[in-house]
């Protein structure tokens, strides 16, 4: 099985963690809690890409 890899840039701001990804039309997500970062991103990336959450890899780049 071929796995899709998505890249996301994470920036810490006063409002929370800003997550952006050019892989999905410059997707922008604001995550309030770092412990929820991967689960929230995985759910949203799955919805946007129409892939099952276990069919892709996420790589975060922290700024």
Q: Are 21 and 48 in contact (CB under 8 A)?
A: no
**Strands 4-12 and 56-62, sheet pairing:** parallel
Mean pLDDT, the chain, whole residue set: 92
pLDDT in tens, 18-36: 999 998 888 899 999 999 9
pLDDT at 1 over 70: no
pTM, to two decimals: 0.85
Helix extents (H) in 1-63: 37-49
Please name each of the domains of the chain with its CATH number.
4-62 (3.30.2390)
């Amino acid at each position: 099985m071929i796995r899709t890899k998505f890249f996301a840039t994470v920036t810490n701001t006063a409002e929370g963690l800003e997550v952006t990804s050019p892989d999905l039309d410059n997707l922008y997500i604001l995550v309030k809690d770092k412990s929820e970062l991967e689960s929230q991103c995985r759910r949203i990336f799955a919805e946007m890409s129409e892939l099952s959450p276990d069919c892709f890899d996420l790589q975060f780049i922290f700024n």
